Amino acid sequence: MRLSVFLAVFYFVCFVPPGLKAGESSKELDFARHLVNRNDLNEAFFVLENINPKTPSLQDSVFHLKGWVLYRQMKLEPSAGLLLKVSENSPYYLKSRFFGAYNLSHINQTDKAEEILYGLDLEANTMHGNMQNFQLSGLALLNRDFDGFEKRAENFTGSFHAFASEERNMHRHYQRLADAPGRSPFVAGLLSTAVPGLGKIYAGKTAEGVVGFLYVAAMGLTAFDFYRGSGPQSALFISTASIAGIFYIGNIWGSVTAVNRQNMEFNHEINQRILFDMHIPLRNAFN
C-alpha cells in the first residue's frame, strides 16, 4: 500500500509536465469565462494563452473560448482557425462549427465555409439541421448562386423562431439581387458622350450627373461665347474650349467608373445585409 502511494506520488512529481494541473486549469477557464463576460477580452485571451490543458475536453474549451474572444474582437480569420479545432466530442462543437463557418463567410472564404457546413451531419427536421440549410442558403446568395439558393429556400419552414424572420429577409435579398439592373459601363460612357452627365444618371448617381452636366454646359457655353465674340483664334476661346473638352472627356470616363462604383456599392451593401441575417440566428440559437 505504502509502496503504491509512494509510486503514485513519484510518478506525479516526475512525469506530470510543469504548468497548471487539470483542476487548476478548469479554475483558470472559469476565470477566463468571467473575464469574457465582463468584456475584458484582451485579459481573457492572456489568461487562456497561459492555460496548459491536460485533457482533450479542456483543450476544446480553451480553443472554443479563445476563438470566441477573437470573434468578439472581430479578428475573424484567427477566430475561425481556433473554433474549427474544437473536436466533435465537445459540447461546443456545433456552435464552433457554425461560428467558424460564419467567420469564414465574412472574410470571403465562402468555399471553405460551405465545406464546413456540408461536413455537419445533422437531421433535416431539427433546428440545427434547418440552421445548416439556412446558412448554406446565405452562402449561395453570397456566391450569387441563385439555383442553389432556390433549392435551399424550398426547405425554409418558417417554424423556428431563431431564424423565421431571417428566412423571409433572405427571400427579399434574393429578389433584390434578381431584380438588380445589370448596368453596363459601355452604355454609361455612350450616354455621357451623347449628353454629358446622362451616363451617371443611368448609373444611379443622379446628383453627380446633374452637376456634371452643369459644369460641362457652363464651360461649353463660355467657350461658345468667346468663339462668337472673339473668333476661333482668340486665347480666351482656346483656353475655355480646352477646359470644356477636358470636362467633357472626364465626364465620360467618370460615367464609366460610376457604373462600376455603383455595382460595387450595391454588392457590398447587399452582402452586408445577407451576412447580418446569417449572423443573427447564430446569436439567437447559441447564446
Partner 1 sequence: MREDTLFQKADSLFEAGNYFVAAIEFERVYYFAEEPLQRFHANLGKARALKQKGEFGRARNDLQRSVTARVEDGLRFKLFYEMAFCAYMAGDYSDALSLVQQIHHYFENHPDIENIYLVQALTYLMLERWEQLNDHAAYWVKNHPNTNDQAERLLKEINHKLKKDNIPSPLEPKTARLWSTFLPGSGQVYAGEPGWGLLNAFSQALSLGMAGILIWNGFYIAAGAGGLGMFQSFYFGGIRQAGELAGRNSRREMEQFENSIAHLLVSIENSLKTQ
Please give the residue ranges that form the binding site for partner 1 (CB under 8 A).
27, 31, 34-35, 40, 42-43, 46-47, 217-219, 221-222, 224-226, 229, 236, 240
> Could you tell me the three cell numbers for 31?
476565470
Place of cell 481556433: 82
Minimum CB–partner distance for residue 34 and partner 1 (Å): 5
Q: Smallest distance from the beta carbon of 47 to partner 1, in angstroms?
A: 7
For residues 248 and 191, the answer to whether their CB atoms sit within 8 Å is no
Do residues 250 and 191 make contact, with C-beta atoms less than 8 angstroms apart?
no
Q: How far apart are CA 103 and CA 115, in angstroms?
A: 13
Nearer to partner 1, 43 or 145 (CB): 43
Question: How many Cβ atoms from other residues are within 10 Å of residue 284's Cβ?
Answer: 14
Helices (H) and strands (E) in the chain, counts: 14, 0
Which has the closest alpha carbon to 220: 245, 252, 192?
A: 245
Hey, what's the cell of 285? 440559437
Least distance between partner 1 and beta carbon 240 (Å): 7
CB of 19 to partner 1, least distance (A): 17
* Rounded Cα–Cα distance for residues 180 and 11 (Å): 70
Beta carbon nearer to partner 1, 8 or 218: 218
Nearer to partner 1, 222 or 263 (CB): 222
**Residue closer to partner 1 (CB basis): 77 or 225:** 225
Between residues 7 and 214, which has the closer beta carbon with respect to partner 1? 214
CB of 253 to partner 1, least distance (A): 22
